Structure 1
């Protein structure tokens, strides 16, 4: 959420930054609400002061025995009380309207974020690894003989419908191994704290990270009101909700492996083959809560943590910086890591790493006490996939496929697979 004081001080700059996202000016509407809200608050405070003064005069009139004045002033206090209540209600209504509007406005992109209308104008920053040359036409993950019937979409459709999968046998174990490997790497080498969090959360948690109110159709809500998390970003970032950290306790770097749930409301007809885009999937998420001055350095650090997963698995990838038309609602700047998928002959997103500045913290009231003892300020928050487990499985299978139909698995996974090194017809050998 945005600071209305900053908008008040420089509305033209605020609208100019929103224009980079393709949005129309909104500061006039915000400032009109803000002016009316402040006027209503001032009027309520003035009426409250008059009520308080009249109340004191009631006591004085009673002490003097002036019954007529006492009755007149008591009636006046009653009138002022009703007037104050009406004015406070009006001020509260205007305050809620302004907050509701602020909650729908996305974060402002940093100056360094490239301008662009959509994903076609994202900018490649770097590449790692060389895509392997095949002596045969590489297949997509769901076509591989090595997978066999261990990636079962028919049973999943019978159980749940489209965009679900049942993993079996060796494929299921490779999937589990990938999640374990990612957690161990982040905890042992990247100094992230491992967490196990709920996957059901309250409205306030979804509001804090920005999924609500604008994007409710992209998530699932239970009949009793809880929301299924789209990512552990929601739970981990909300550790900061209504907290005041000591500056010495920052940064807090965390990770969690969870199931994630997305309705994919805005992606009808996209990636319907295989398990690239599912309603339920697993992810190892990274979140950092830090001092605002450290956010950009933490963004680079977190991106390198995600890249280390791909490099250790020997998966070619590229890093791109998202343009203003493609960054997410809560992001100031985002890097996407795109892994090479030979079956599609292209790079596909496997991780998004974003710095949100103080945007989420202001929504959830997450603050810290400055080391110099000044007034508490909002923390900065960052989040990123480290990585999406299912998409990593796809990349491992497609990049390791062999002409004989088997899949050679990365050396980093061998200790997690009982020393087995290949996948053949759905089984590890």
Structure 2
């Protein structure tokens, strides 16, 4: 098995039989409105992968750094796409809209034949990387375990919130993989978008997350027991109006991860290839920013500061015949109906502080996340009306946009309620 890294969670995998699998293709242009590949992918490598005609594409979940229309555009729409058999139709529908209808929906935790190979898919392990469970029954992330007929084994956790107990169970029930791809970075708006945090507090929060995710990477590696471990996913910088926030991205550097797992670390850059038989890496000579520093990453982000998010170009004149009050009340009613269906009631109030393109206040709108019991929390999203319009009409997803730090967040008390953020996806006109 040969595993070639492209960008973020995108790998080109070649089995001993010659079968090829491309995972989560995002390597061209921005996603999540402001994310850009880092390190950037050379044009020659992009062309190679587009011309590769993989036997199948694996899409782990709906977010645009895994399901990226611009990157997927050149691929043959007849290409089989492997996805998990989820409890919602969202991923399937999104692929159908893009023209991909040859979908292989795999039931979770079942060995499934794929040509001469086998694979197993896993659904969400937890609500977040602290191990909290979620009351929102919405299958989002998936992971994949791949068995090469020659005996080589690969486990790719992708963005899934895997913890050491999960890793140990997978090793015990499905076998110790030769190679594992494990998440090591947080893809969240925290602390970049926190409006009540000054620079010092953002840096303190960033370092705390970095320490926690690095330790989790180490403990997952130890519990799973692979011969080599690839840190993958969450490898991006922010561009556009939030480019300067890239200095708060809590993505550990190669040296920090190597200090935790030693020579087992296989930090790959665009074009690098890891061979499962000899466990050696063939380095791409033209891969940029090898062994980069935090300062180099942040400086590259600033070169993207003039790239504006697509929602900015929405033409919403002041006399737009759109009844905002009625629309937001409809969104709140849809959100309440979905919470009731899920049995989700959070003692919190949500406030929308809507601004114009210049940051001037336009209106506010408040609604409840459920009655609940005890002291009520307060969460405020500050965002401009173009972005709000895109969110409530489904042009953008609340869950995906949160990671882009395009909204300023304030919360009282300063406590993360993951079900509140995960459930806000239902605050739309069509839910």
TM-score by length of 2: 0.22
Q: Relative CO higher for 1 or 2, CA cutoff 8 Å, sep ≥ 6? A: 1
Work out which of the two has the higher radius of gyration on C-alpha atoms and give 1 or 2: 1
TM-score by length of 1: 0.22
Give the number of the structure whose residues are more often helix, by fraction. 1
